[in-house]
């Protein structure tokens, strides 16, 4: 029986990063993974394949619509979907191999199979009808999440798909109906719209991207509509019937009322994700869940069973890869006796569409609700030189600062490369910096990031280029 300092169950961004950090700190570590490949949702059916398809489909759209105006004359691009899927797969394979390399480099044992917690210090690993029990001083649960399903709508991953099926469609659907205007719906909706689908998004709430700043979400919706997205807000899909030619989706107002039927070729269900704890034996082991089925943890990631911790999508908080990674590092450090910590006030969120949407800290709605006095500085990309010459002027930067102290409370950006631009705000917020600090920091010219500086100047009503 092997004996470890730490066994991590799950090798998504939470699990594998935790394992690497623990190994760096001198622990003898094993990871348990039931999937054929390492890397979890993120590498196999999440962040990475979706970003590969977003990149490839954006290039396709640019070649078709933007090259000519820059004087680059090419014949109309043709879609080779199998080749695009192959491009996606190469990206997945490269990243999965990268995780395998990290396991070897850090001398981490990879135990293939389903992990079950038998009690403090004991994990059973089962695969192909065989099982072994490993002993360990500590256990970290990093088993991630699974797609949330809608009652009465059966996902077959061919015509009625989750994100997993939508990442591998064999042909471009003529009509794609997306249920849920969250991150997955807008990212994968963008992919298939660029490749030729008519996309309609049905959303239960009266707005898209709940949780993001309302003003940003409104402008985002307008831009997506200009691109060809159709939205049906405050609506719910109550059922989908299939005949040999089409899917017939029944849609009702969210508050109830007369239903209408909308035809589609593919329906994408993306209404959120649920924590994944199947097969872990939590109940028998006495590990408590919260009312939403997430593993319950204390501020130090400890579960109700001694020596067992949990991180990532399976616990509370935003279901984001970088949140899982940071928790992985923090819990490894805590187990090693250090002061591991995650600052949940500074976790950026990015939607990788065109334009991108990025956000960190509080939204204007949250500040209003909390009764916090704040000032706002905004700067549009139409007034940013680099954006003007590149003719990519959609969007703006919005900065929210404390009215009394000028401390940065939230930054929200809609525009190309917004996902890269958010990080200067994250660093500043980690240091408790002010809008004035940002406004006085020299920014290279000509960059889109100058719009961030200008928005910070606008907090003090002294933007230069507006
Ligand atoms: P996971 O990545 O889900 O990994 C859990 C692993 O545990 C899996 O490999 C699973 O097989 C394994 N496992 C489960 N139970 C057991 C068991 N009993 N024994 C052994 N192994 C087990 N986040 C972002 O930050 N940016 C993005 O751009 C982004 N894009 C996304 C796109 C899509 C389409 C989806 C679906 C998600 C996306 N996410 C994105 C979310 C991101 O994928 C998750 O937040 C992240 O993967 C969570 O990491 P994790 O380590 O907690 O779990
Ligand atoms: P989500 O939580 O982002 O959005 C789900 C949407 O569906 C919400 O707008 C919700 O109001 C709506 N909804 C819920 N029930 C509905 C119903 N019955 N009918 C119509 N609409 C309904 O979830 P999504 O898009 O499935 O993504 C899951 C998770 O994956 C998210 O938590 C996100 O953090 C993560 N993710 C992150 C990405 C990124 O960081 N770029 C990309 C993709 C996913």
Crossing angle for the helix pair 183-194 and 47-65, to the nearest 10 degrees:
40
Counting ligands in written order, which one lies closest to the CA of residue 185? 2
Residue located nearest, by CA, to atom 14 of ligand 1? 143
- Predicted local distance difference test score (pLDDT) of residue 394: 98
Whether the CB of 11 sits within 6 Å of ligand 1: yes
Q: What is the DSSP letter of 291?
A: T
The ligand whose atoms approach the alpha carbon of 48 most closely is 1
CB of 322 shorter than 6 A to ligand 1: yes
The ligand whose atoms approach the alpha carbon of 282 most closely is 1
The pLDDT value given to residue 1: 61
Q: Which residue, 248, 231, 218, is CA-closest to 180?
A: 231
For ligand 2, atom 26: residue with the closest CA: 272
Q: With the C-alpha atoms ordered 311, 312, 314, 319, is the resulting torsion angle positive or negative?
A: positive
User: How far is 32 from 8, CA to CA, in rounded Å?
Assistant: 6
147 lines ligand 2 (CB under 6 A): no
Residue of the nearest CA to atom 2 in ligand 2?
Answer: 272
Tens digits of residue pLDDT in 298-308: 999 999 999 99
CA distances from 361 to 48, 181, 348, 349, 411 (A): 25, 21, 8, 9, 7
Residue 341: active-site member: no
How far, in Å, from the CA of 409 to the mean position of ligand 1? 29
C-alpha of residue 273 to centroid of ligand 2, in Å: 7
CA distance 217 to 210: 8
- Are 274 and 145 in contact by the 8 Å Cβ rule? The answer is yes
d(CA 19, CA 15): 6
Q: Provide the whole-model pTM.
A: 0.98
Is the previous residue joined to 173 through a cis bond, with omega within 30 degrees of 0?
Answer: no
Report how far apart, in Å, the C-alpha atoms of 277 and of each of 65, 126, 172, 290, 363 are: 46, 15, 34, 12, 32
- Residue 271 CB less than 6 A away from ligand 2: yes
- Nearest residue (CA) to ligand 2, atom 33: 319
- At 256-289, the pLDDT tens digits run 999 999 999 999 999 999 999 999 999 999 999 9
Q: Cα of 307 to ligand 2 centre, how many Å?
A: 33
Q: Which ligand is nearest to the CA of 151?
A: 2
Q: Which residue, among 465, 464, 438, 466, has the nearest Cα to 453 in the 3D structure?
A: 438
Q: Is the CB of 152 under 6 A from ligand 2?
A: no
Q: Whose CA is nearest to atom 3 of ligand 2?
A: 182
CA of 202 to the centre of ligand 2 (A): 12
Marked catalytic residue, from 341, 423, 445, 465? 445
Q: For ligand 2, say whether the CB of 183 is within 6 Å of any of its atoms.
A: yes
CA distance 153 to 435: 48
Protein residue with least CA distance to atom 30, ligand 2: 319
Q: Which residue has tokens 């910070």?
A: 456
Spans of the chain, pLDDT less than 50: none
SS3 of residue 95 by DSSP: helix
Answer whether 249 contacts ligand 1 (Cβ < 6 A).
no
CA separation for the pair 261, 241 (Å, rounded): 10
Instruction: Determine if ligand 1 sits within 6 Å of the CB of residue 32.
Output: yes
Q: Cα–Cα distance between 343 and 361 in angstroms, integer?
A: 11
Q: Identify the helix (H) or strand (E) that includes residue 21.
A: helix 13-24
Domains, the chain, in order of start with CATH, read 3-145+274-335 (3.50.50.60), 160-271 (3.50.50.60), 349-459 (3.30.390.30)
Question: Is 270 near ligand 2, meaning CB less than 6 Å away?
Answer: yes
**φ and ψ at 191, to 5 degrees?**
-55, -55
CA of 40 to the centre of ligand 1 (A): 5
Handedness of CA 154, 155, 156, 159 (dihedral sign): positive
Helix ranges, 292-397 (H) = 321-335, 364-370, 385-390
Among the listed residues 53, 50, 41, 54, the one whose alpha carbon sits nearest the alpha carbon of residue 13: 41
The span from the CA of 446 to the CA of 457, in Å, is 17
Does the C-beta of 282 come closer than 6 Å to ligand 2?
no
Alpha carbons 13 and 327: distance in angstroms, whole number? 10
Pairing label, strands 29-33, 3-9: parallel
User: What's the DSSP call for residue 316?
Assistant: S
* Ligand 2 lined by 351 (C-beta under 6 Å): yes
Ligand 2 mutation target, pool 146, 224, 271, 351, most atoms within 8 A of CB: 271
Atom nearest to 14 CA in ligand 1? 51
Nearest ligand, CA 270: 2
Ligand 2 centre from 99 Cα, in Å? 27
User: Is 34 close to ligand 1, i.e. is its CB under 6 Å away?
Assistant: yes
Residue nearest to atom 35 of ligand 1 (CA): 46
**DSSP letter (8 states) at residue 289:** B
pLDDT at 118: 98
């Amino acid at each position: 029986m092997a004996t470890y300092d730490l066994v991590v169950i799950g090798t998504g961004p939470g699990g594998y990063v935790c394992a690497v950090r623990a190994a760096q700190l001198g622990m003898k570590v094993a990871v348990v993974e039931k999937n054929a490949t390492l890397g979890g949702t993120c590498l196999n059916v999440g962040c990475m394949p979706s970003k590969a398809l977003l990149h490839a489909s954006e290039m396709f759209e640019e070649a078709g619509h933007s090259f000519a105006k820059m004087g680059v004359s090419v014949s109309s691009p043709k879609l080779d979907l199998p080749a695009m899927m192959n491009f996606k797969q190469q990206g997945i394979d490269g990243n999965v191999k990268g995780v395998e390399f990290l396991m070897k480099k850090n001398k981490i044992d990879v135990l293939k199979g389903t992990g079950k917690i038998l009690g403090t210090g004991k994990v059973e690993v089962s695969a192909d009808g065989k099982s072994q029990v490993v002993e360990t001083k500590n256990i970290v649960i990093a088993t991630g999440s699974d797609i949330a399903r809608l009652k009465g709508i059966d996902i077959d991953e061919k015509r009625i798909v989750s994100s997993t099926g939508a990442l591998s469609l064999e042909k471009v659907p003529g009509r794609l109906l997306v249920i849920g205007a969250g991150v997955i719906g807008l990212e994968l909706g963008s992919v298939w719209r660029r490749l030729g689908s008519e996309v309609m998004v049905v959303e239960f709430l009266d707005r898209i991207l709940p949780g993001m700043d309302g003003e940003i979400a409104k402008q985002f919706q307008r831009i997506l509509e200009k691109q060809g997205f159709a939205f049906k807000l405050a609506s719910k899909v109550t059922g989908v019937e299939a005949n040999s030619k089409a899917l017939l989706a029944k849609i009702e107002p969210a508050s109830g009322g007369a239903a209408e039927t909308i035809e589609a070729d593919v329906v994408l269900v993306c209404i959120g994700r649920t924590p994944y704890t199947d097969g872990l034996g939590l109940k028998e082991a006495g590990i408590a869940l919260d009312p939403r089925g997430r593993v319950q943890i204390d501020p130090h990631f400890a579960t109700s069973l001694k020596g067992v911790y949990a991180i990532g999508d399976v616990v509370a908080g935003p279901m984001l890869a970088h949140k899982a990674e940071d928790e992985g590092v923090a819990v490894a450090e805590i187990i090693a006796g250090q002061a591991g910590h995650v600052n949940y006030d500074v976790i950026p969120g990015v939607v990788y569409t065109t334009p991108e949407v990025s956000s960190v800290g509080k939204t204007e709605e949250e500040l209003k609700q909390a009764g916090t006095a704040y000032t706002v500085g905004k700067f549009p990309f139409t007034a940013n030189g680099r954006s003007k010459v590149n003719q990519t002027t959609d969007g703006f930067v919005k900065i929210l600062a404390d009215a009394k102290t000028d401390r940065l409370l939230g930054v929200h950006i809609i525009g190309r490369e917004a996902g890269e631009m958010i990080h200067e705000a994250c660093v500043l917020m980690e240091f408790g910096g002010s809008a004035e600090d940002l406004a006085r920091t020299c920014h290279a010219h000509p960059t889109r990031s100058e719009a961030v500086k200008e928005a910070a100047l606008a907090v003090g009503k002294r933007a230069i280029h507006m």
